[in-house]
């Protein structure tokens, strides 16, 4: 048993840290936020083709790097820290993850190599609850006639849908027990993508409506045999990814606060020297390190292979802690910045908005705790 990072893992993390500090600083984030799709296409291009990050979790047989949850978490933490605006999360943590965990062999061959090479942008619903996309599927009906599927319904909030080449959409099929997964190309009749103006402008969402979208049989992409297990595994990994980003958000809130309080003087001394301020920063650090342990632990468990149930609970643990820590730190950052913390100009508000928006992606902390309790108290 060894909990230390390998040299390669440290290298990936450090590379992510320096690239994102360079390309996703406050000014860059603010510029990207107000662009057409909400990200800088050039940076996204470099992430995909130059840095190869889209291939991190994709298996080598599909052209990826074949790395695991640990490497992915390390990169996502840095992305959260810098509030990277890019469809990375949608493409890799949602779509590639769903394809890998529950996609048919044919679907994996069709999409994963292009994703790994950074040539394709995909997305899937993120604004669902604790029931592993069952809630999202309940809003879309799929009917089959001969070789053609027809999809009708809506997805209230899909990230980066405006930029995606394909949307992975969950739907209910009459007579089936589990959600079905479909790949819907962006340019197709009956599909309406309506951009939403979110308070958190660092990740764009759109509402999607499907009015009788017809798809060939091959666009139903789930593998019936792996569906049940795959839904749970994919949801767990997405929660872990959200947690990793939230961890980065929380860390940045602390870093900003420590830096600001060291320079701001009141009563003739740096406000960082007041014990009330020190203790609140220390409390942030305690929660951040606790969350970090949970996130790294869940990632190590996922990377090492574990039962579906154990992985689901461990990732839910990481996700509840991360959501709470993230909001706590964002709130403390604003408070300890005083008046400037309430301005548009200073960055805490950006993190605060992300903290709140991300708090309910794939289930909020209360709902996930109830799910953990159910597992613990079942015996």
- Residue ranges binding other proteins (CB under 8 A): 1-6, 9-10, 70, 254, 258, 261-262, 270, 272-273, 275, 277-279, 281-283, 285-286, 289-294, 296-297, 299-301, 303-304, 314, 317, 320-321, 366, 368-370, 372-374, 376-377
Separation CA 161–CA 329 (nearest Å): 30
In angstroms, what is the minimal distance from the CB of 269 to other proteins? 8
Q: How far is the CB of 283 from other proteins (least distance, A)?
A: 7
Q: What residue has token string 């061959």?
A: 109
What does the alpha-carbon distance between residue 170 and residue 154 come to, in Å, rounded to a whole number?
10
Q: Which residue, 73 or 98, has its beta carbon nearer to other proteins?
A: 73
Closest among 374, 348, 273, 357 to 323, alpha carbons compared: 357
Whole-number minimum distance, CB 345 to other proteins, in Å?
25
Question: Is 222 or 324 the residue whose CB approaches other proteins more closely?
Answer: 324
Least Å from the CB of residue 287 to other proteins: 9
Residue closer to other proteins by CB (options 102, 237) is 237
Token pair in block for residue 235: 């949801």
CB 294 within 8 A of CB 250: no
- Alpha-carbon span 124 to 102, nearest angstrom: 13
Q: Report the residue number, 4 or 27, with the smaller CB distance to other proteins.
A: 4
> What are the CA-CA distances from residue 202 to residues 30, 348, 353 (Å)?
8, 13, 9
- Comparing CB distances to other proteins, the nearer of 219 and 314 is 314
- CB 19, min distance to other proteins, A: 20
Q: How far is the CB of 372 from other proteins (least distance, A)?
A: 4
Min separation Cβ 251 and other proteins, Å: 11
DSSP-derived 3-state class of residue 175: coil
HSE (CB half, 13 Å, CA atoms) of 180? 22
118, 49 in Cβ contact below 8 A? yes
Is 15 or 138 the residue whose CB approaches other proteins more closely? Answer: 15
- Comparing CB distances to other proteins, the nearer of 84 and 302 is 302
Q: Tell the smallest beta-carbon distance from residue 268 to other proteins (Å).
A: 13
CB atoms within 10 A of CB 233: 23
**Residue-by-residue DSSP string for 45-85:** HIIIIIS-GGGTTS-GGGTS----HHHHHHHHHHHHHTT--
- Work out whether strand 140-145 and strand 166-173 pair parallel, antiparallel, or are unpaired: parallel
Q: Where are the alpha helices (DSSP H) in 224-341?
A: 227-263, 275-304, 308-337
Distance CA 244, CA 6 (A): 18
Query: For residues 112 and 248, what is the distance between their CA atoms, to the nearest angstrom?
Result: 27
Kindly tell me which of 119 and 374 has the beta carbon lying closer to other proteins.
374
* Of 24 and 311, CB closest to other proteins: 311
Q: How far is the CB of 35 from other proteins (least distance, A)?
A: 35
Nearer to other proteins, 103 or 363 (CB): 363
Question: Cβ distance 98 to 266 under 8 Å?
Answer: no
Cα-trace Rg, the chain: 21
Q: How far is the CB of 153 from other proteins (least distance, A)?
A: 31
Bridge partners, residue 166, by sequence: 122, 185
| Element containing residue 377 per DSSP (H, E) | helix 365-377
């Amino acid at each position: 048993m060894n909990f230390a990072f390998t040299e390669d893992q440290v290298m990936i993390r450090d590379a992510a840290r320096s690239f994102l500090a360079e390309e996703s600083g406050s000014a860059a984030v603010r510029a990207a936020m107000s662009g057409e799709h909400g990200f800088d296409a050039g940076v996204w291009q470099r992430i995909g083709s130059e840095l190869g990050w889209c291939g991190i979790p994709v298996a080598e047989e599909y052209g990826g790097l074949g790395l695991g949850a640990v490497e992915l978490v390390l990169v996502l933490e840095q992305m959260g820290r810098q509030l990277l605006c890019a469809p990375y999360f949608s493409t890799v943590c949602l779509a590639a993850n769903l394809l890998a965990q529950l996609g048919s062999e044919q679907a994996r061959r069709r999409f994963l190599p292009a994703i790994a090479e950074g040539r394709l942008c995909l997305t899937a619903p993120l604004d669902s609850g604790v029931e592993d996309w069952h809630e999202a599927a309940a809003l879309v009906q799929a009917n089959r006639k001969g070789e053609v599927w027809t999809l009708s319904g809506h997805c209230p909030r899909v990230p980066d849908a405006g930029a995606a080449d394909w949307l992975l959409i969950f739907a209910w099929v009459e007579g089936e027990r589990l959600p079905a997964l479909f790949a819907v190309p962006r340019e197709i009749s009956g599909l309406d993508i309506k951009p939403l103006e979110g308070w958190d402008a660092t990740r764009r969402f759109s509402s999607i409506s499907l009015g009788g979208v017809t798809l060939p049989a091959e666009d139903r992409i789930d593998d019936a045999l792996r569906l049940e297990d795959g839904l749970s595994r994919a949801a767990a990994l997405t929660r872990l990814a959200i947690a990793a980003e939230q961890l980065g958000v929380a860390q940045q809130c602390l870093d900003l606060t420590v830096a600001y309080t060291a320079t701001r003087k009141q009563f003739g001394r740096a406000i960082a020297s007041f014990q009330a301020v020190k203790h609140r920063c220390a409390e942030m650090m305690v929660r951040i390190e606790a969350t970090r342990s949970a996130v790294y632990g869940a990632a190590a468990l996922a990377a090492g292979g574990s039962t579906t149930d154990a992985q689901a609970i461990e990732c839910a643990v990481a996700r509840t802690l991360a959501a709470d820590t993230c909001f706590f730190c964002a709130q403390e950052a604003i408070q300890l910045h005083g008046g400037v913390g309430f301005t548009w100009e200073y960055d805490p508000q950006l993190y605060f908005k992300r903290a709140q928006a991300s708090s309910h992606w794939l289930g909020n902390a209360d709902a996930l705790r109830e799910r953990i309790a159910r597992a613990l108290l079942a015996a």
